[in-house]
Structure 1
């Protein structure tokens, strides 16, 4: 497995691969890898000749400097995970390599970057779009793999790709969960043992909300879910919304043409956790 820190060295490698007519699958990450990331690497391995993974904690997508500071950085462990998973090359740039000059790219997402995550993390999705587009231009992948836990992020990346005319095939991949249902996340390692034991309640509540379909409207389910969290003060819900899976706008009924999606962000033990579940009967 090759490790690149400079984009010109990565570029030479990518040119060689493409000149050989081989396909490239790309998995962009911020490191602190877990089995969710491994599932993306394995999927890319099945569908491409070469698999490239990037590890870059992107400062542009952190609206909270404390969150950026605390984000786990575990390069040595990450590399030991990637090679057996089937990764061929890792791109591990420093901030100056990705952003040598002032960032000037601008994208328009209409409402997509203003709802849910966008409402609570201003500027976050601008940073996501900038870094993903730059990585696409460096790695030149045929396919790129993203986990569905960050559902809104996928919508943003799709929009950015339309705006840039990207020909990369975006491959959304299922959420990978711990045995107790907690969605795998790099942030989970920051939970205390006590909080980690409580954390599966998030997914349990998403499932509980889905069981209300047929007897309650989306607005009623939303209220019931928030009320359920109020019984557990260790959790601080930031939002719970049932939205159209295409537009990401709230639905008034469960009969929308696109499957409704329940999306949630919760603070637990000073760690922000997100999850989602399709609310289709």
Structure 2
């Protein structure tokens, strides 16, 4: 909150004498921000289209939405059979996007870890060869709220890079009632900092837990237990060993997948002279 109060937003015309900004601290209230894949989804879409000016690039999609009653300046209130069909359509759309996430959004990067597809290298426009890949666009934004301007180009190092893991070293899916460990070496190629984050299977969201912690980061290295060689053991899942509580990503019994984030990533990550360690179950 202290950092946010250093940020100010105002029209450029007020630069000489900007008006006072209002800051709202919502903590600790939990806000429901996840999409609901039912008629709520379409109602929110209808409200957005009604409020936002139409853009030429969306003309085809807007025409398609008009066929199901979503049109600027008109009420959207499906009833009876139409409502049931639209509910089913939303559920099927969510299933298709989840399938894209699990099977096409990511590609093998190193043993045990997946990376983003090459569209990240070119700025996530989803345009190429005269085509718009709207399946890829929908599939990616199903699990990610936004995308960096560019990722993955080793010749033009991006501001951030990401690796993902769904299975441990034994090729088993991660379970929230078990404990896992991944070792981050002292030479992890992140100029600024790295982090390990757990996301809940099914919602792809942070996992609420009593510790109010969604990940472990080298940004807080002063608080972490560090090995003699400078490496850091990150524990994910059930209760960690004594002395490693600050190195622990709690999952509250929820099944999960992992993201390794690199801020200020360095070339060894991309040319793979540095390899991310496997995640191992601790028994």
Normalising by structure 1, report the TM-score: 0.27
* Bigger helix fraction: 1
